[in-house]
Amino acid sequence: MPESKSRKKTTPAAPAAKPAAAYKPNPVWYKPVMFGLMIIGLLWIIVFYITEGRFPIPALGAGNILVGFGIAIVGFLMTTRWR
């Protein structure tokens, strides 16, 4: 029985990687702001619980927890851009 001709396998071209120069380091202020937001959010929640809702903003009531978590989450989201 005759053998069939084999096909030439082509390898797909690898996507071009960005040069190392394209990844710039973060500015000097980035890390302190990132950690500062996480700490401020945590302190906001702690102060709300310790003062039994009298501080930071009494009119918000339990909304102070959302504000504290919101501030902390912004800090945590900044970690995804940290180089």
Q: What is the pLDDT of residue 63?
A: 96
Q: Quote the pTM value.
A: 0.71
Count CB-CB contacts under 10 A for residue 47. 14
Q: Tens-digit pLDDT profile for the chain (83 aa)?
A: 777 777 776 777 666 666 666 789 999 999 999 999 999 999 999 999 999 999 999 999 999 999 999 999 999 999 999 98
Q: Is 72 helix (H, G, I), strand (E, B) or coil?
A: helix
Positive or negative CA dihedral for 60, 61, 62, 67? positive
